[in-house]
Amino acid sequence: MSRNEATVEQLLGLLPDVDELELLRLTIIGTAVPDPGKAWDSSSAYATVDKRIVSADEVDRAVRQAEESLREHIASLYEGLRPVFRSFFEGREDDAGRQLVVLGEQLEGRGRMKAARQCYRTALNLSLPLLDKGPQILALRRIGRVSLTLGDFHEAALHYERSAQLARDAGETRGEVVARTGYGNVLAWQGRWSEAERHYRDALALLEAEDGDRPSVERAQLLNNLGNIATWLQRLDEAEATLTQALSMSDSLGSAPDLAVGFVHLAHLRERQQRPDEARQAYERALGLPVPPSLQSGIATDLADLYLQSGHLTRAEEWSRVAEEHAIRAGSAYTLGRMYQGRGNIARARGDEDGFTFFEKALEIARDKGYPFLEAETLAEYAELRRHTGGTEEAEAYLERAREIFASLGAVQSVADADRVLEEIRVERTVVEVPPETPLAAAGD
């Protein structure tokens, strides 16, 4: 039987698991639209991108667009290799290494994180024997950055630490500052806030010894990070002063992404201060800046969570759909997974068991693409849904697996949170499983 349209799920099922078709997968997802025939169906509230539809003409257009994009990608890849070979044959291995890093940065910018990491690793291997440690220092930092994005905290920490040591030995202060900042970011993601703060302060001291108080991107980022850590550690007055300084510096430097992140951190502070209206304004200012769709999706997800915490579930759902549209435009599997985790939390707040579809989709993405931290966080949130809908044993199993992943990543705060909830679940189960004592029958009159 012929058809005029199909769901994303049906179309992706036709594609072999071949890397060269990844662009086509993302293009089909970006082309798809919500099924208008199910606009009033209650199940549409829980539809993921898989249930969106694409017409036959749009599929044909998507194939042509993806083919052209793939041609451009391959041409760019090979074009990026030309200066690598040229530098190598001219005896400039250091420049060849740097050119490989440039190629990796191009791939990273297109969301091809694992391919970018392979470029950086090749650059690292090439630069190891060189007397000039600059290319090695840079390659190590880039591997650290991508590994952090992928949730591979141990590898990220290892490479940032090696980069910082090499930079210190080579007297490259700015390189050491950036590497120490990256290492602090890993610690922050692990919930090791006091340790992260120490690394940020060490990096800032190095930078100030080199530059004084001169504004710079590195300085603005460090102040931003320190302000965020102060928020987490409940030093709210300090966070206020530090984030204000960071925002002013990012604004003067014209760095839109850093300014947007600064507004997000300010919004987190306003939430801790119980000032939700000002938190919302900070998120909206971040969304008004020219930043990549992946960052816009993350900000919209945070804004949806703010409305959720304030009890405005309808507004939370509206912003979660905005986050979904930005995530689709970003063409980033990680961004989609994070966004669906957020939508699952909204469904949980409504007490809707059908919200499991969002958590399942986030888990599918995390496992398929290899995002362990996203997988663990989603399992922990999913466990809360099952816990409150009668699936206590399932919730316990999810949490135990989440705790196992958190522990393997060194995410100490997340491990502690999982342990606390596991204990609560076990106490609840004990209360349910122990029947009340049967009272002795009263003697008859």
pLDDT in tens, 337-355: 888 898 888 888 877 777 7
pLDDT digits (tens, 9 = 90+) for 139-152: 999 999 999 988 88
Start-to-end CA span in the chain (Å): 80
Is residue 168 exposed (0-12), middle (13-18) or buried (19+ Cβ within 10 Å)?
Answer: middle
Rg of the Cα atoms in the chain:
25
Q: CA nearest 127: which of 137, 136, 138?
A: 136
Chain CA centroid to CA 243, Å: 22
At 7, which helix (H) or strand (E)?
strand 5-7
The tens place of each residue's pLDDT in the chain, 445 residues long, gives 678 889 888 998 889 988 788 788 878 887 888 877 665 444 455 567 778 888 999 899 989 988 998 898 899 999 999 999 999 999 999 999 999 999 999 988 877 888 899 999 999 999 999 888 999 999 999 999 999 988 888 999 999 999 999 999 999 999 999 999 999 999 998 888 999 999 999 999 999 999 888 999 999 999 999 999 999 999 999 999 999 999 999 999 998 999 999 999 999 999 999 999 999 999 999 999 999 888 999 999 999 999 998 889 889 989 988 988 888 888 777 888 888 898 888 888 877 777 788 899 899 989 988 888 999 999 999 999 888 888 889 999 999 999 999 999 888 889 999 999 999 988 877 765 545 554 444 443 3
pTM for this predicted structure? 0.81
Cβ burial 265-283 (10 Å sphere, 16+ → b, else e)? bbbbbbbeeeebeebbebb
3-class DSSP state of 403:
helix
Buried b (16+ CB within 10 A) or exposed e, 376-389: bbbbbbbbbbbbeb
Q: Which residues of 10-26 are buried (b: 16+ CB within 10 A; e: fewer)?
A: ebbeeeeeeeebbbbbb
Q: What are the pLDDT digits (tens) for 105-129?
A: 998 887 788 889 999 999 999 999 9
CA distances from 91 to 59, 88, 94, 98, 128 (A): 48, 5, 9, 14, 15
Q: 352-429: which CATH number, 2.60.120, 1.25.40, 3.30.230, 3.90.930? A: 1.25.40
Count of CB atoms within 10 A of residue 73's CB?
18
**Domain extents in the chain:** 352-429
